[in-house]
Amino acid sequence: MPCMRGVALVDRLPDGVTLVRAPNPGPMTLDGTNTWVLRPSGATAAVVIDPGPDDAGHLAAIAAHQPVSTILITHGHHDHVEGAARLSALLGGAPVRAADPAHCVGAPPLTAGTLVLAGLEIEVLPTPGHTRDSVCFRTADAVFSGDTILGRGTAVVAHPDGDLSSYLDSLTRLTAYESLLLPGHGPALGDCAAVARAYLAHRRDRLAQVKAAMVAGADTPGALVDAVYPDIDPAIRFAAEASARAQLDYLRRESQKPPEQLDPL
């Protein structure tokens, strides 16, 4: 079975969970945005996580699972939320809930805590870092991680909306959940905690590389990308530069802390 850093891919989803993948593959979206439809056995309605792009065929495929109680949003990037208002309309006004009120339709914004939707308990875990408004959703079976953790590769810290200090804190919290990981892009993975630990190790390695590049004279995001990501695909260079800015900002703030508060990274 293929794996990512020792974490097995999952080829069978839990009962009551359906993946509807959007037709928007690309360097940032991998195979396309994962829209997750949750409908526990016996439930009279489904819950949708991340409607994805405003694509008529994709939204119709999601709407085929109606009735839908609520549409949940992991974060406000357009490849996750663009289709939300149209899907809500297709579903007769199903409420849309996100941490950012700007993306809500007919319902209050999400805060930390447990929702009961269509008979399903869903814990809202605020996980800022990829973006300020990122949340993960946790059920008894799985963690739905949006872009905080992807099914393949690593996530971008979308600086300045995202920030690395928050992201490291969020990943550390996700190491508590040894459950299935159902990401916003890429395949399902077997163990959220293990992938979160691998992401943290990757971030520590990157920070060490950035520090070394700075000592060697790289002092701009562009120069850091050249030093740390020498084989970067030009199509995603902008994302690497955003991550480099996030790392520079993080290191600058760390250097301004009194010694007793220094993170041992």
Count of positions on this chain that bind Zn ion (CB under 5 A) = 2
Q: Among residues 6 and 23, whose Cβ is nearest to Zn ion?
A: 23
Q: Residues with Cβ < 8 Å from 12, sequence gap 6 or more? A: none
Q: Which of 39, 77, 97, 185 binds Zn ion (CB under 5 A)?
A: 77
Span interacting with Zn ion, options 75-83, 98-106, 120-128, 210-218, rule CB under 5 A: 75-83
Q: Return d(Cα 258, Cα 265) in angstroms, integer.
A: 15
Q: Return d(Cα 43, Cα 83) in angstroms, integer.
A: 24
CB of 105 to Zn ion, least distance (A): 20
Q: Return d(Cα 226, Cα 238) in angstroms, integer.
A: 12
Q: Which long-range contacts (CB under 8 A, 24 or more apart) does 60-66 make?
A: 60/90, 61/20, 62/20, 62/35, 62/37, 62/87, 63/87, 63/90, 63/91, 65/18, 65/20, 65/37, 65/39, 66/91, 66/92
CB of 168 to Zn ion, least distance (A): 17
Q: Return d(Cα 111, Cα 194) in angstroms, integer.
A: 26
CB of 1 to Zn ion, least distance (A): 27
Q: Among residues 33 and 139, whose Cβ is nearest to Zn ion?
A: 33
Q: Among residues 69 and 74, whose Cβ is nearest to Zn ion?
A: 74
CB of 77 to Zn ion, least distance (A): 3
CB of 116 to Zn ion, least distance (A): 27
Q: Among residues 21 and 77, whose Cβ is nearest to Zn ion?
A: 77
Q: Among residues 135 and 225, whose Cβ is nearest to Zn ion?
A: 135
What is the full DSSP assignment across 99-120? Answer: SSGGG-BSSPPP-SEEEEETTE
CB of 139 to Zn ion, least distance (A): 21
CB of 135 to Zn ion, least distance (A): 12
Q: How far is CA 108 from the centre of its chain?
A: 21
Within 202-241, the residues that bind Zn ion by CB under 5 A are none
Among 250, 164, 170, 161, smallest CA distance to 214 is for 250
Q: Residues with Cβ < 8 Å from 62, sequence gap 6 or more? A: 20, 35, 37, 48, 51, 68, 87
Site string for Zn ion, 143-182 (x = CB under 5 A): ----x-----------------------------------
Q: Among residues 40 and 151, whose Cβ is nearest to Zn ion?
A: 151
Q: Among residues 169 and 254, whose Cβ is nearest to Zn ion?
A: 169
Q: Return d(Cα 166, Cα 138) in angstroms, integer.
A: 19
Span interacting with Zn ion, options 12-20, 70-78, 121-129, 199-207, rule CB under 5 A: 70-78
Span interacting with Zn ion, options 100-108, 140-148, 170-178, 242-250, rule CB under 5 A: 140-148
Q: Using CB under 5 A as the criterion, which residues of the chain lie in contact with Zn ion when the complex forms?
A: 77, 147
